[in-house]
Amino acid sequence: MWFKNLRVFRLTQPWTLTHQELNEKLDAFVFNPCGSLDLFRYGFTSPLGRDSEELVHSTNGRMMICAKRQEKILPSGVIKEQIEEKTLSIENAEQRKLSRKEKQSLKDEVIFSLLPKAFTRSRLDFAYIDPKANWIIVNSASAKRAEDLMSKLREALGSLPSIPLTTKHLPTQIMTRWLREANVGSELELGDECELIANKDGRIIRCKKQDLTASEIRNHLDLGMQVNKLTLLWKESVHLLIDEQCAIKRLKFEGDITDPSNERQPETKAEQFDLDFSIMALELDALIKTIIKQFGGIESTD
């Protein structure tokens, strides 16, 4: 359950729903498996999996939710082969070339015929709502996946005034300054990986397992390149990568954070989830606030 990626959405109006009210609203959009002719299904499921029917798990005022997406696996090669076979058959029989519109119709027909026999694959998207901090944290490296979950939540609630987190200073500017000055403040340490981008031609240089304060990297910065991605270590306990969108990726918690959860030996999965959620949320709250502060605070929407 420990999040590996963070996309932060800021609530522009206070959150007012209780645990029970949120659970009832999500229940109207609960996940159901794909039918024979469905390309995909997306809906809410229990964060605890089979151990609970509750669609919301609350701890210390924070509410964890989970959305499940199931989709049919239709290999493009199989679709292409069947379209080519059917196209050739029709063109030979009718002694003419099919139009683009007819080929698209044929493609739809092929997909429709394959759907009932197709295998499925599923994924889970977790997020939690923190009414006190006034934000929603989505465990996703992908902006689209995060927005898919937010859109489904918005659909369930009727409205969800929220925007992706933006800071007063551009992350690229601050990260470039960090490398140029070899200084990221007292709580953060530079990692060993970065991505540099040239504004003029879009050229990208990726540096891995390198001393990011080396003169070679500084030379690239002097030529006008900016830092697009950067690995960091926070409080000697959390490894992360932050990008130009202020998205946090590749989170890795060290043992001094996760050990207290393991040492208490909860008796049930729900208790373990509750403990992990409590510890993780406290750490992420402090981490996000540190990042926001380093980037000049939250950008006003007024």
Q: Find the distance separating the first CA and the last CA of the chain, reported in whole Å.
A: 36
List pLDDT tens digits, range 61-92.
999 999 999 999 988 998 999 899 889 999 89
Cβ contacts of residue 295 below 8 Å, gap of 6+? 167, 168, 169, 171, 174, 246
* pLDDT score for 112: 87
When the pLDDT of each residue in the chain is averaged and rounded to a whole number, the result is 93
Query: What's the whole-model pTM score?
Result: 0.88
Task: Quickly count: other Cβ atoms within 10 Å of residue 174's Cβ.
Answer: 20
- Going 147 to 151 to 157 to 160, the CA torsion angle's sign is positive
- Mean pLDDT, residues 4-15: 97
CA distance 96 to 98: 7
Determine contact, residues 138/11, Cβ cutoff 8 Å. no
* pLDDT score for 280: 95
* pLDDT score for 199: 83
Determine contact, residues 218/249, Cβ cutoff 8 Å. no
* pLDDT score for 26: 98
Q: How does residue 27 score in pLDDT terms, banded at 50, 70 and 90?
A: very high
List pLDDT tens digits, range 95-129.
889 898 998 999 988 898 899 989 999 999 999 99
* pLDDT score for 265: 72
Determine contact, residues 35/115, Cβ cutoff 8 Å. no
List pLDDT tens digits, range 127-159.
999 999 999 999 999 999 999 999 999 999 999
Check residues 49 and 25 and name the one with the higher pLDDT. Answer: 25
DSSP codes joined into one string, 172-226: HHHHHHHHHHT---SSEEEEEEEEEEETTT--EEEEESS-TTSHHHHHHHHTTEE
